[in-house]
Structure formats: C-alpha cells, structure tokens
A = this chain, B = another copy of it.
Amino acid sequence: MPEYKAPRREMHFVLNELLDADAHYQALTGAEDATPDMIEAIIEEGAKFSERVLAPLNGVGDRQGCRLEGGEVITPEGFKQAYSQFIDGGWSSLAHDPQWGGQGLPESVGIVINEMVGTANWAWSMYPGLSHGAMNTLEAHGTQEQKQQYLTKLVSGEWTGTMCLTESHCGTDLGLLRTRAEPEADGSYRISGTKIFISAGEHDMAENIVHIVLARLPDAPAGTKGISLFIVPKFLPDAQGAACERNSLECGSLEHKMGIHGNATCVMNFDGATGYLIGPANKGLNCMFTFMNTARLGTALQGLAHAEWGFQNSLSYARDRLQMRALSGSKNPQGAADPIIVHPAVRNMLLTQKAFAEGGRALIYYCAQLVDRGKQGATEEDRSEADALLAFLTPIAKAFLTEAGYEAANHGMQIYGGHGYIAEWGMEQNVRDSRISMLYEGTTQIQALDLLGRKVLMTQGEALKGFTKIMHKFCQSQADDAAMAPFVTPLAELNKEWGELTMKIGMKAMQDREEVGAAAVDYLMYSGYVVLGYFWARMAQVAQAELAKGTTDSAFYEAKLQCARFYFERLLPRTRSLSVTMLSGADNLMSLDAEHFAF
C-alpha cells in the first residue's frame, strides 16, 4: 500500500538553507510570529496529521468516492472526522488575519502545510482548499459586515466555501456565462442558473457552505465586463450568525470523474437563491483576478504533490522488487535477482521524479515568499517588485509543474511494471488524480497564453527581464567558482537565449497574432525548464558551500549535487527541442482548413 512520509529534511533545506526563511520573515511587516521554532513545530504537527490521518484515507477516498442521497453528499469514510481534526488543530486559520480569527502567519507558512496535506490526500485537501478562494474573495472585497458574518466562519473552518464559475457551455470563456441575479427590494439578489464542476459544492463535513457565484445583473453589459460576484450561502445566517434557513440551491448531481473521487464535484442548481453582491457590480472578473495567482500557486502545488507521492512509493518498490541482473554484473548475487533500482532506466525515472519534486518545491516556496512580500513587504517598491515577479512566475509554476507532476506520476507507475496498472498499489490513482491539474484553474494552454501574451509580450519583455536579471546576477556571483561552472555556464547561455527567443516571437507576432498562440505552450515549457534550472543551480551552490565547510551531513548534500547534475544533463536539454519548435511558425498549424483535418 502506498505511504507518505513528509520530506522534513527537504522542506528544511528549501525553507532555511535555500530561501533563508528567517531573514525573509524578519523583513516583512507583521510576521513576527513566524519564528524558526514556531515554523518547525507547525511542520512537525502538520506532518503527523498528514502522514497518519490523511494519507491512509487517500485510497479510501478513491475507492468509495462520494454519494448523492436526497440532495445531500456523503463523503468517503473518515473524511468528515479528518476535517474535524483539521479545524480542531487550527489548520484552517493558519495564514489568515487575526481580525477574523486567523493566526496571522504569512502565506508561505501556509503553503508548507498545504504541501503535506495535499500530497497525503489531494482529494481531501480540496475541501479546505476551496475555502481559500472564498476567503480571499471576502477578505479582498467583502464589507465589514460580510467579513464578520462569513469570513470568521470560514477562517475557523466551521463553514467551507466554493467558487462557482463554470457553466456547461463556458469554462475558459467566462464572458459567455448566463447565471442571472435579480435585485430584490431588501438589497439582496435572486440567483438563478446552473454551475458545473463545483468542487466541494455539497458535502457533509461542515455545517454550512458559502458559495461565491459569478452571475449577471439584469442590465449587465455582455461579455466579461458584465459579471458580478455574489455570496450565496447554503444556509442563510440568522441574526446571531448561525446557519439557519435553507437557501434554494442544491447539488443536482455528482460528476463521474477520472480521479479525485474523494472530492465531490457538483452540478449546482441555483433556483432563485438568495445572494448578496460582493465587490462592485460588473467587476466580478477583476475582483477574482486579484487573487488568481494564489489559487494557481495552489494548483502548482498539485504537481509537486503527485511527483512526491509517486517518487516516495516507487523508490521503495524499486529497492524491494527483484527482477533481472544489472548489465554490469549482479549487485545482489545472493538474491534471486537484483533490486530494480540497479537498472539505469529505473534510476532515470526515479531521478526525474526527484528532480521535479525538489525543484518544484524550491520554485513554489519561492513564489510563496513573493506572495508574502507582495502583501507584507516593508516598502512599496518591494511589494510591487514581488507582485510583478509573482505574476510572471505563476503561469510557469502552474502549467509547468502540473505537466511535470503528471509525467512524474506516470514514471512512478511505470516503475511498478504491470503492477502499476493495478489499483491496490495506488500508483494508477496517483496518475488519475494528477491529470486534472493540467485542466482546472486554467489549462496549460491558457497559462501559456497568459505567460507569453499578457505577461511577457504585453510588458515588452519587462516581466521576463525582472527574472532574467536575477538569474544573471546569480550566474555572475558564481563566475569564479569552477565547481559551479557545469551549472552556471549552461544557465547563463539559456538565460541569453530565452531573451532572444522572446524577441523573435515578438517580432513574428507583430506580423501575425496567431504566432503567439502557436509558440506559447513550447515557450512556457522552455521557461519552466530554465526556471527550474535556476533553482537547481542555486541548490547545487548551497550544497557545495556546505560540503566545502565540512558538513557532517555530506550524503545529503552530495545527493543534492548529483540530482542537480542529473537535471542539467538529462532534463534541461529538453529545451533543445522546444527552442526549435516554438520558432517553427504558426503556418504549420493554421494552414490546414478545419474541414480537412479528416476525410
């Protein structure tokens, strides 16, 4: 059976040795509580909860799934109890404002916990995870009264939240949405329409569910400029704030999905349900964009989660499973065969998972620090620099890491051979669960357009330069260290090429806008490999410095160096194909008439 052990040593390495969390928190405003001791204690408790409570429920959730009975959703055995433990432990309130009952810790502390919770059981983690969307909306755009009424209950975890965006005919293109909001005399609205793909839309884990619903006012302009946001609770609160009258909305059905069976993906019917406008009328989409980066970072985490789960389990299988002899002579002559970890092809798959998981962790934790700085940075300059960098890195982290996570999950399964295809080993679940991450929160293709179109080309490359400067500075700082040359030399070359490729695509795009879409996915994947290359080089540098100091933990740092080398020699060269295909032009995609794709 698959198991999970929180990679404490790795998390410590990234937080403290790579990203110097202590200095980071000291530089923020109002992050005094985030001391090293406090964070270590939080990680230890979060690890235990994830390993002991959530991980054993991961397979249960997949096998049992959710049931809809008389409009009520019954979650898999143990899910509800785990959620009680979660809120009793105060986990839901960790990174929220003390004004509304939160513990006031920075976002980057929350993400460490989210990593463990999500890796142990992604489907379960979506119940509290979706609440964050609702909480962020309320925090940013709610009135004091709305915050008092809804946010406090969400922060405490007594209630959960959802985001109701998608309708059956529109996902990416929210401008097409049809759900209506009719104003009532008392200032409330009647919300009518059907939303689909509503994660945690209905369940038995909390006493109330607060839906944030995108809908149109009667006089709203067409398209994306006519969308407003509404709070639509399952139970309307009474004067004391308790969940009271049942609102006229219900879960019409549950989707049958490829994976994340433990999470209830609901069709939600709003039948003149009472709702309250949040934020300005017709500005709903803008309001949502304010925290899109955080939500997408949460999905990037899913890539890391499935890479880590696959890696841990396929590593123990590869050490145990005896099959064939090493080509260079037996490594286990007294056994019936050698453990399959002796085979280079198996090692290649293990190291790919490891490189994506550890590199992905560095990137995500780094982004989470940017979120902190964007909110709590000491100066306006620091805040806006962090925001710009985060805006640039977010589509890369979301799309690249979820693609990498899916690849890693598939490697984890492949290492098990035929057994990987069998449910009881848990590896095929990991593949199925991971597959959604490239679809929701904006597909890979949408992230790619966001990166190349909105972030890079629309800023005339400024957003890119913000990051390439950082890379350039790092490369320069290592110029005198010969041991770093195998990392710094290729990285500096790629950094230069990245800018040149961007320029070339920009020139083409001035002739034909379709060139952006034709290059975008390859450009994003290229960017992902380069960004992860930067983090692997930095990790190598930390490891080399520790080894030079004569650390007692040399095996750990040696392994870090070896994995960095693997990344540079086996994964980073994938840029060699992407740099060619991204420049191959739109014509090879656009010239075929839509009617002539098949005969």
Contacts and interface: CB of A to CB of B under 8 A. Distances in A.
Interface of A: 7, 9-10, 166, 169-173, 175-176, 197, 255-259, 311-312, 315, 319, 322-324, 326-328, 336-337, 339, 341-348, 350-351, 354, 410, 413-414, 417-424, 428, 431-432, 435-436, 438-440, 443-445, 448-449, 453, 512-514, 516-518, 520-521, 555-556, 558-559, 562-563, 565-566, 569-570, 573-577, 580-581, 584-586, 588-599
A581 B591 contact: no
Contacts of A588: 562, 565-566, 569-570
Contacts of A566: 588-589, 592
Contacts of A438: 414
Given A258-B423, A350-B597, A417 B435 contact: no
A520 B440 CA distance: 35
**This chain: copies in complex:** 2
A563 B599 CA distance: 13
**Which secondary structure characterizes the binding site on chain A?**
helix
Contacts of A169: 322
Query: Max chain B CB contacts within 10 Å: which of A257, A438, A439, A593?
Result: A439
A42 to B, nearest CB: 21
Given A315-B597, A323-B170, A559-B599, A586 B344 contact: yes
Contacts of A585: 569
A593 B584 CA distance: 42
Contact of A598 (B311, B521, B584): B311
Given A258-B428, A594-B339, A171 B328 contact: no
B563 A573 contact: no
Contact of A337 (B176, B341, B592): B176
Given A513-B327, A577-B573, A414 B439 contact: yes
Contacts of A311: 598
B414 A443 contact: yes
Contacts of A323: 170-173, 176
Contacts of A570: 581, 584, 588-589
A172 B448 contact: no
A346 B173 CA distance: 15
Contact of A428 (B312, B413, B435): B435
Contacts of A319: 594
Contact of A573 (B521, B559, B580): B580
Given A172-B417, A176-B337, A256-B423, A345 B559 contact: no
A492 to B, nearest CB: 18
A259 B512 CA distance: 43
